[in-house]
Amino acid sequence: MSALSPSENNRIIFEGHRVEDDTSRAFYQHDLGIVAESNTFVPTNPTNTAEYGYLKTLVMRHLDWDCRIPSPFISVYGDCEHAEREAERRARQGRHNVVLREIIVTEDDLPATCYSLQWLFVPELLEDVLGCEVPDFVGGNADPEFLFVHHIPKECVCGFRWYS
């Protein structure tokens, strides 16, 4: 993997991997980083029934790969092996431009360039916050999945590997 490593004194807060191809709903832009399809408001700290319901709708739509409604989320796997298997699966299916991107968020990133960076762990979000189970249509993808809200700055995209 082509990589830019964070400095040794810079503590890593999050490390994950994103798989993209020509059909991906969020994509890498060289000047910005990874950008979600939608910039709609996401109530990451819901305070009332309406916000909980809206957050649940947004998350369920995003997790349903057959749903083509623009999503404000960017999926990132917390487990590298899972991400590699997903990239290999997409390449075997004949998808084009399959790439695995390494995402590293450090302490220095948060105040400097990523002040608005937010991410949610899917199983915890569904079970603990929204009070529902991971839907069957998601399969095993939700277990290592994190959802970033709106964008992942280019400073946090530290490496990549092409699969097709």
Mean per-residue pLDDT of the chain: 85
What is the tally of structural domains in the chain? Answer: 1
- With beta carbons less than 8 A apart as the criterion, state whether 99 and 162 touch: yes
Say if residue 62's pLDDT is above 80.
yes
Give the integer Cα–Cα distance in Å for 72 and 152: 12
Say if residue 112's pLDDT is above 70.
no
pLDDT in tens, 33-56: 999 999 999 998 899 999 999 998
Give the integer Cα–Cα distance in Å for 79 and 18: 10
At residue 2, the pLDDT reads: 43
Beta bridge partners of 149: 73
pLDDT tier at 111, thresholds 50, 70, 90: low
At residue 13, the pLDDT reads: 87
At residue 41, the pLDDT reads: 94
**DSSP one-letter code for 133:** P
Residue count of the chain, please give it.
164
First to last CA, the chain: 14
- With beta carbons less than 8 A apart as the criterion, state whether 63 and 135 touch: yes
Q: What are phi and psi of 13, to 5 degrees?
A: -100, -35
| Encoded tokens for 15 | 């490390």
Say if residue 138's pLDDT is above 70.
no
Residue 119 lies in domain: 2-162
- With beta carbons less than 8 A apart as the criterion, state whether 116 and 33 touch: no
At residue 116, the pLDDT reads: 66
Say if residue 16's pLDDT is above 80.
yes
Kind and range of the H or E run holding 74? strand 73-77
